[in-house]
Amino acid sequence: MKKPKWVIEKEQAKRAAAAETVWLFGLHAVRDALMNPNRTRLRLVVTRNALAKLEDAIAAADIEPEISDPRKFAAPLNADSVHQGAALEVKALDWGPLAEVVMRDGPDPARVVMLDRVTDPHNVGAILRSAEVFGARAVVGVQRHSAPETGALAKTASGALERQPYVRIRNLADSMEELRAMGFILLGLDGEADQTIEQALDGRFDRPVALVMGAEGPGLREKTRLTCDQLVKIDAAGGFGSLNVSNAAAVALYASHKR
């Protein structure tokens, strides 16, 4: 029996996604990826200086490095990439379904950061780093409208990409409803909101929280705003109350924890 066209297209898309590779660069990002047993590593390009600094991690990963001249670095990176003499070709990480990720063991109460069209890899990398520091269960982005896993993102994350789940989903509102059904309260960050995060939680710091962050400028989309349980703001001391989205995520994660 011939497969329907939509089934064939879905299978082709899945195979294409599996075939995609990412070049990570920079000593810290490469070291952490070499030490991550969940990484599929394909090719390692290093200068002799970087080889000396990564010798233990390379031995642990059991990968044969390619030695490259620093003046003609062999990895296919952008000319402005600060690679520090190390680049690693890998398959993107697959963390699995969102529900399984947030149900895994981790610090309680559970915290999840959900990104509404945050496309800058440097912002997402910084958010992953903050999420790892504050014990979040996952950072969630939309497949078609969020920063993919890239070398720039990994370098900004400073190793957090290997430990902090970065789950990319098809539909943000649907995933928000999924978390709501699991007991999460959905708090959307909005500078014009009436209440702070602490006020919205009203002392109930023991419940799971999903912090929903919009892109700088446009903020949360209308459907995202309507899907949130409540819109909240970060309290500002002065008239200038705007924060970069990655800084806002760090403050929001801190504010949502009982101290």
CA–CA–CA angle 137, 227, 135 (5° rounding): 15
Q: Give the whole-angstrom CA distance, residue 118 versus residue 125.
A: 11
pLDDT 10s digits, 73-105: 999 998 889 999 999 999 999 999 999 999 887
Does CATH number 2.70.98.20 belong to domain 98-255?
A: no
Residues 80/27, Cβ–Cβ less than 8 Å: no
pLDDT band (50, 70, 90) for residue 107:
confident
pTM of the model: 0.87
175 exposure class (CB count in 10 Å sphere: 0-12, 13-18, 19+):
buried
Does CATH number 3.40.50.300 belong to domain 5-91?
A: no
CA–CA–CA angle 149, 152, 155 (5° rounding): 100
Runs of H (alpha helix) within the chain: 5-19, 27-35, 48-53, 55-61, 98-103, 121-133, 151-157, 172-181, 197-201, 222-227, 245-255
| Residue 255 in this model has a pLDDT that exceeds 60 | yes
Stronger pLDDT, 240 or 108, i.e. the higher one: 108
User: What does the pLDDT average to over 8-25?
Assistant: 62
Coil, strand or helix at 175: helix
User: What does the pLDDT average to over 42-68?
Assistant: 96
* Residue-level pLDDT at 12: 47
Q: Give the whole-angstrom CA distance, residue 259 versus residue 251.
A: 13
pLDDT 10s digits, 122-171: 999 999 999 999 999 999 999 888 899 999 999 999 899 999 999 999 99
Q: Where are the domains of the chain?
A: 5-91, 98-255
